[in-house]
Amino acid sequence: MSTSSRRQTYQVKIDHITVGSQSPVIVQSMTNTDTADAEATALQVQELSEAGSEMVRITVNNPDSAAKVAEIRQRLDDMGCNTPLIGDFHFNGERLLAEFPECGRALSKYRINPGNVGKGAKGDEKFAFMIRMAAENGKAVRIGVNWGSLDQSLAKRMMDANLASSSPQQPEAVMKEALIVSALESAQKAADLGLPEDKIILSCKVSAVQDLIQVYRELGGRCRYPLHLGLTEAGMGSKGIVASTAALSVLLQEGIGDTIRISLTPEPGTPRTQEVVVAQEILQTMGLRSFTPMVTACPGCGRTTSTVFQELARDIQHYLREQMIVWRLQYPGVENLNVAVMGCVVNGPGESKLADIGISLPGTGETPIAPVYVDGERKVTLKGDNLAAEFLAIVREYVETNYGENGRKRERSRIIPIQTA
Ligand code: SF4
């Protein structure tokens, strides 16, 4: 998507990252370690960064956590990881920022939820303190409104006004409007307190797909702040992935959204990095960004009872993703590589010719040979038990030849570099 078809926004600098319509949509994630455990948190931030998270949020929920934020930053710097850290504050953020000023300096962005700051004049004071700290430290702020913690005094004010109106709306419509008003009024307050407009990002997260789309369309039309997208409490496994993809794809297609996070509940045993992979795959399959070579694989059917092609598709996908930690620096442009792994001759050769490299495995009853196509031409025919290793060797050679020094497909990478030691 060209930058002109993105919703036009202010450009917000967060260390080496720019968030806004002139930049690619940024992938974010969040740790689930205890922030007070600096070592575990730094290691998880690094792991998320290596998976491709361009900013990582950590919760700063108590004095023990706030006391460790500067150490986490230092540990990351020592590991050569320059990923910006976002501090997630609720209820006591102003106290933590006052007691641990080094925490406020070590963070690159603060996330403030106006619904969890406090009520009335006291809440206003707490909000103002955090905004002033951000302005003094030169940090950006995400004003992150959430359906589950909407400012209740604002909701009541708007509900009362709706009841008194001559043409009252449905309560759900008023609540959605309250989310938007909460974000916009808080942003205005922050700007009035001296936070530059190009230091403000907004989000209005809800947990239902259609509500999220409606809220963001409306919010996007009423301001120029960059928007952070995410379906809150998306859920576990395929439900969380599908719901997030459904909601975010519609908005991204309309040019709405400048950073994204996929709020998956990790299934036991699933790595935290899964949310990063899903976010990247949404952007890549929509053609908005490229992160890692894509594998086109057929679903298989009765024409092939062999699991060889399923295993090969899986292995090649894992291999390519693992290599990207090094390849993104060594072979710029390799993220645009397309590999096809197909199960039989029906669609195999055709898809293989369309990919940069493709292999068509033998279906049931077919001659046990696997033609490999490179740049549309049949290059070699593999057979025997060592097929997977031989195919991976062809992929490696292709990458070195085409994306290495003087490679004809080498190009300036659009991936935002993550420093590694
Ligand atoms: S390529 Fe062959 S094995 Fe794969 S889905 Fe199509 S017909 Fe079935």
Per-residue pLDDT tens for 124-161? 999 999 999 999 999 999 999 998 899 888 999 999 99
- Only one residue has tokens 């403030």, namely 112
Q: For the chain, what percent of residues have pLDDT higher than 90? A: 83
Structural domain boundaries in the chain:
11-286, 294-403
Lowest mean pLDDT among 48-62, 98-112, 164-178, 407-421: 407-421
Residue 26, beta-bridge partner list: 259
- Residue 182 is predicted with a pLDDT of 96
Task: Decide if pLDDT at 419 tops 50.
Answer: no
Residue 300 Cβ inside 6 Å of ligand 1? The answer reads yes
Q: Where does the pLDDT of residue 84 fall: very low under 50, low under 70, confident under 90, or very high at 90 and above? A: very high
DSSP state of 299: -
State how far the Cα of 139 lies from the Cα of 105, in Å rounded to an integer.
8
Binding residues for [4Fe-4S] cluster: 298, 301, 344, 351
Residue 130 Cβ inside 6 Å of ligand 1? The answer reads no
- Residue 345 is predicted with a pLDDT of 87
**What class is the 294-403 domain?**
alpha beta
The preferred substitution site among 304, 354, 361 for testing ligand 1, maximizing ligand atoms within 8 Å of CB, is 304
State how far the Cα of 368 lies from the Cα of 382, in Å rounded to an integer.
9
For ligand 1, the distance from its centroid to the CA atom of residue 349, given in whole angstroms, is 11
Look at ligand 1, atom 7, and give the residue with the nearest C-alpha: 346
Fold of 11-286: TIM Barrel (3.20.20)
Contact 220, 189 (CB under 8 A): no
370-374 and 377-382 strand pairing: antiparallel
Which atom belonging to ligand 1 lies closest to the Cα atom of 347? 1
- Residue 368 is predicted with a pLDDT of 85
Which atom belonging to ligand 1 lies closest to the Cα atom of 298? 4
The preferred substitution site among 341, 342, 351, 361 for testing ligand 1, maximizing ligand atoms within 8 Å of CB, is 342
For ligand 1, the distance from its centroid to the CA atom of residue 343, given in whole angstroms, is 5
For ligand 1, the distance from its centroid to the CA atom of residue 279, given in whole angstroms, is 28
DSSP string, 192-229: HTT--GGGEEEEEE-SSHHHHHHHHHHHHHT--S-BEE
Residue 343 Cβ inside 6 Å of ligand 1? The answer reads yes
Lowest mean pLDDT among 67-71, 163-167, 325-329: 325-329
User: 247 Cβ partners below 8 Å, 6+ apart?
Assistant: 209, 212, 213, 229, 231
357-360 and 370-374 strand pairing: antiparallel
Q: Where does the pLDDT of residue 421 fall: very low under 50, low under 70, confident under 90, or very high at 90 and above? A: very low
Q: For the chain, what percent of residues have pLDDT higher than 70? A: 96
- Residue 335 is predicted with a pLDDT of 94
For ligand 1, the distance from its centroid to the CA atom of residue 358, given in whole angstroms, is 14
Taking residue 233's Cβ as centre, other Cβ atoms within 10 Å add up to: 16
H helix or E strand, kind and range, residue 251 = helix 237-253
For ligand 1, the distance from its centroid to the CA atom of residue 340, given in whole angstroms, is 12
Q: Where does the pLDDT of residue 420 fall: very low under 50, low under 70, confident under 90, or very high at 90 and above? A: very low
- Residue 140 is predicted with a pLDDT of 98
Look at ligand 1, atom 5, and give the residue with the nearest C-alpha: 300
Per-residue pLDDT tens for 38-62? 999 999 999 999 999 999 999 999 9
- Residue 307 is predicted with a pLDDT of 80
For ligand 1, the distance from its centroid to the CA atom of residue 390, given in whole angstroms, is 22
